[in-house]
Amino acid sequence: MRTALTIAGSDSGGGAGIQADLKSFAAVGVHGTSVITCVTAQNTRSVASIFPLPPGEIRAQVRAVLDDFDVRAVKTGMLYSAEIVGAVAEELRGTRAPLVVDPVMVATVGASLERDDFRDALVERLLPLATLVTPNRHEAHRLSGLEILGVEDAEAAARAIRGLGPRAVLVKGGHVAGRLVDVFFDGRRTLRLGGFRHDKELHGAGCTLAASIAAYLARGQGLREAVRSARARVAVGFLESYRAGKGVGIIQSAAVPDRFAVWEALAAAVGRVRGTIPRAAAPAGGIEMGFAVAGALREAHVCSVRLRPGPQGRWTPAEGPGFGARTRVARAILVGMTFHPGLRSAISLKYSQKTAHRIRASRFVVAALSGRKAGVTMRAGPTDAEAGIIPQGLTEGGERGRDPRLWVLGDDPLDALRRARRTIREVAR
């Protein structure tokens, strides 16, 4: 069991801070230890009061943890004052564990979570120790002095912040208008990490992201891989967010993908294919169907099954259901999830020139799979990923001797089957 440490404030509402961090650690499979810097009286509507703990007590907590546990990663959140920043920096200076700094300055509900001396102390004392710092738009502006109105501004801010000492910077794009893009910069490479923008403001999203990155680092992932894994967890948290109070919603920081539930749902759907997909609408190589765990990043996260025609019009499994196969349906699902993380299932139908003509004449919105990579090129027509339009299906040509296919996307296998039935009536006959 790997151990991670969070140094942050306590949220009495349970949605952010220490509470969100420990839930995130547990969901990734890491033992969580904690150092409380401030006790806050807050809920989903406001922050009523902040009580900073004495720096000596904060030092004692850090020492107690480091004296006993083999801490593999540290995450800092709300540090509030120069005194606390100095105490934390001094105690962490001798550690070799990677440090993720979430420069918390303002709560989701708008309350300030810092004193006037906080920013300068953070820059001078803690950022030089950081493996990664994860500012949002407001925090990146405070740290860099640059206005951030778009992706190019975020890249400039990331470069400026890295000049303050951290090994890498992730400028979060949640508060920047337009398509959601996080900017990662480590001094060598600048990465634009796109995502689906949910129309909701959630308490605890920044805490969940930074804590998840620390947890994946504790498990041995490299920095870029940990960032990608954590962003996928946050995407799941948005999908499973909930309301517990009367104010803003709360991200589900404890979300854990259920592989058995995914396998079970796909296996149950196999029996429904017989009455849904006639032989004439199926690809020459048989039907492929799949279902991905929430937040899937690679083919190993997709459960798939290949069906072949059997006696009396039945479709019977030729392979699967199972996880990890390098299948065309897994690739289609992973591409579909780039448009919306809820599009976790797909089923294959026959694709032909007649089908293509009927698609162009219908309201069925498609994107085109391109090459062997999980990239997307858009067909001429109404589909535009930049505008946030979500396709109902993906088309795949017959390159390299493969039969062309139309992938019908759905939220789950039964939803994909329902959409496939409608698609057959409209375009695939």
Instruction: Specify the DSSP element, H or E, that contains 10.
Output: strand 3-11
- Among 48, 2, 54, 46, CA closest to 25: 2
Among 199, 217, 250, identify where a domain stops: 250
Task: State how far the Cα of 147 lies from the Cα of 70, in Å rounded to an integer.
Answer: 40
Q: What is the pLDDT of residue 383?
A: 41
Task: State how far the Cα of 1 lies from the Cα of 222, in Å rounded to an integer.
Answer: 18
**219 and 268 share a domain?**
no
What residues form DSSP beta bridges with 132?
Answer: 100, 168
Q: What is the CATH classification number for the domain harbouring 404?
A: 3.40.225.10
| DSSP result, 343-373 | --EEEEEE--HHHHHHHHHSS--EEEEETTT
Task: State how far the Cα of 154 lies from the Cα of 160, in Å rounded to an integer.
Answer: 10
Q: Which domain holds residue 233?
A: 3-250
The SS3 of residue 117 is: coil
Count structural domains, the chain. 2
**87 and 22 share a domain?**
yes
What residues form DSSP beta bridges with 202?
Answer: 249
Residue 313: pLDDT band (50, 70, 90) is low
Q: What is the pLDDT of residue 106?
A: 78
Long-range CB contacts for residues 259-265, cutoff 8 Å, separation at least 24: 259/293, 259/303, 259/323, 262/291, 262/292, 262/293, 262/303, 263/303, 263/321, 263/322, 263/323, 265/291, 265/412, 265/413, 265/414
**48 and 168 share a domain?**
yes
Question: In the structure encoding, which two tokens stand for residue 151, read together?
Answer: 């992706």
245-255 residues labelled b (16+ CB within 10 A) or e (exposed): eebbbbbbbeb
Tell me phi and psi for residue 161, to 5 degrees. Answer: -70, -40
**284 and 245 share a domain?**
no
CA atoms within 13 A of residue 29's CA, in its CB half-sphere: 7
Q: What is the pLDDT of residue 378?
A: 36
- For the segment 112-138, what is each residue's pLDDT rounded down to a tens digit? 777 778 899 999 999 999 999 999 999
Instruction: Specify the DSSP element, H or E, that contains 6.
Output: strand 3-11
How far, in Å, are 77, 214, 277, 283 from residue 81 at the CA level?
Answer: 12, 23, 63, 63
**244 and 276 share a domain?**
no
Q: What is the pLDDT of residue 149?
A: 92
| DSSP result, 369-427 | EETTTTEEEPPSSS--GGGTPPPSEEEE--GGGPPPEEEEEESSHHHHHHHHHHHHHHT
Q: What is the pLDDT of residue 385?
A: 44
- For the segment 14-72, what is each residue's pLDDT rounded down to a tens digit? 999 999 999 999 999 999 999 999 999 999 998 999 999 999 999 999 999 999 999 99
Mean pLDDT within 378-396: 61
Among 227, 250, 273, identify where a domain stops: 250
Q: What percent of the chain has pLDDT over 70?
A: 93
**397 and 339 share a domain?**
yes
- For the segment 365-374, what is each residue's pLDDT rounded down to a tens digit? 888 876 443 3
**219 and 291 share a domain?**
no
**122 and 10 share a domain?**
yes
Using the predicted structure, report yes or no on whether residue 274 has a pLDDT greater than 90.
Answer: no
Q: What is the CATH classification number for the domain harbouring 70?
A: 3.40.1190.20
The DSSP symbol for 268 reads H
Q: What is the pLDDT of residue 201?
A: 82
**184 and 277 share a domain?**
no
Residue 212: alpha-carbon gap to chain centroid = 10
Q: What is the average pLDDT value for the chain, to the nearest integer?
A: 88
CA dihedral 408, 174, 192, 127 (to 10 degrees): -150
Task: State how far the Cα of 181 lies from the Cα of 171, in Å rounded to an integer.
Answer: 9
- For the segment 244-253, what is each residue's pLDDT rounded down to a tens digit? 999 999 999 9
**244 and 301 share a domain?**
no
Mean pLDDT within 159-183: 92
Q: Are 13 and 108 in contact (CB under 8 A)?
A: no
Q: In this structure, which amino acid lies at residue 280?
A: A
Mean pLDDT within 283-302: 91
- For the segment 198-231, what is each residue's pLDDT rounded down to a tens digit? 878 889 999 999 999 999 999 999 999 999 999 9
Which distant-in-sequence residues (6+ apart) come within 8 Å of 338 by Cβ? 194, 374, 376, 385
Q: Which residue has the higher pLDDT, 237 or 56?
A: 56
Task: State how far the Cα of 393 lies from the Cα of 400, in Å rounded to an integer.
Answer: 21
How far, in Å, are 175, 202, 203, 238, 254 from residue 199 at the CA level?
Answer: 12, 10, 14, 10, 21
**29 and 106 share a domain?**
yes
